[in-house]
Amino acid sequence: MTIRIKRAIGLVLFGWTAAWPAAFGGTITGIVAAKGPPAALEGPAGGGYKSRRYKFAERVDYEHLQDFVVYIDQSMGETKPGSVATITQRDVSFEPHVLPIVVGSVIRWPNADEIFHNVFSMSEVHSFQLGNYLKEQVPNVRFDRVGQVDVFCSIHSKMHCIILVLPCPYFAKVDANRRYTITGVPAGTYRLKAWQERMPPQTRSVTVPADGEVQVDFTLGFAELPKY
């Protein structure tokens, strides 16, 4: 067998293997909704929002919340090498605001502004501080522990983003229509979790078929407040 043929076979096998997660396994899909606090808080006891004193108090619009993430909240055996993702500092904000990654991934931190930023986190999952830098530098940070990492800029108080370091690569961000899709999931029963930074998370059990689709919908909301 010639070297050329061996290379061709290797490329075919590599391509087939790389496509395995998408071509084989089941699909988890569904819709994620959000429900605000109990209606009792909306009445007179909730305060006088018509007064000038509170005119800048912006209330949460639960119908239009974004950055929901749905993921399998457990290890799936041997962890494959993580990928490389990017969070850009642009217009004095982080883009994206929420970034889910698999444990072991690296995040690049380019500064697209013409002013200094100083990216840092005091999270127990992963603390770091990148120092002041401009466009000439693009620091990298690897995340080797599972959990939530809140990131800030020590120069600009409103800059904040969240990194969700997840135990396996089966996750998805919810789209503008509140729908998510996770493909190529091996058959089995798993803990499926829906997350949003302002909402209580919700976990449900899901059994994924070897081939086909299963739908799991979530409604994240607040329980009734206790009476004192």
In the chain, domain spans: 25-35+61-76+172-222, 80-166
Residue 169 is predicted with a pLDDT of 94
> 18: which 2 tokens?
């790389």
* CATH number of the domain located at residue range(s) 80-166 in this protein: 2.60.40.420
CATH number of 25-35+61-76+172-222, picked from 3.40.50.920, 1.10.600.10, 2.60.40.2070, 3.40.1280.10: 2.60.40.2070
Residue 52 is predicted with a pLDDT of 76
Residue 91 is predicted with a pLDDT of 98
> 220: which 2 tokens?
């994240």
Residue 226 is predicted with a pLDDT of 58
Instruction: Quote the pTM value.
Output: 0.82
What one-character DSSP code corresponds to residue 82? P
Residue spans of beta strands (DSSP E) within 56-178: 69-72, 84-86, 88-90, 93-95, 98-102, 106-108, 117-122, 127-133, 140-142, 147-153, 160-166, 171-173
| Domains 25-35+61-76+172-222 and 80-166 are alike in CATH topology | yes
For residue 13, the SS3 value is: helix
Segments in the chain below pLDDT 50: 3-22, 40, 45
Residue 6 is predicted with a pLDDT of 43
Residue 13 is predicted with a pLDDT of 36
Of the candidates 148, 147, 129, the one whose C-alpha atom is nearest the C-alpha of residue 139 is: 129
Residue pair 126/112 in contact (Cβ under 8 Å)? The answer is no
Amino acid at site 83: S
Residues, the chain: 228
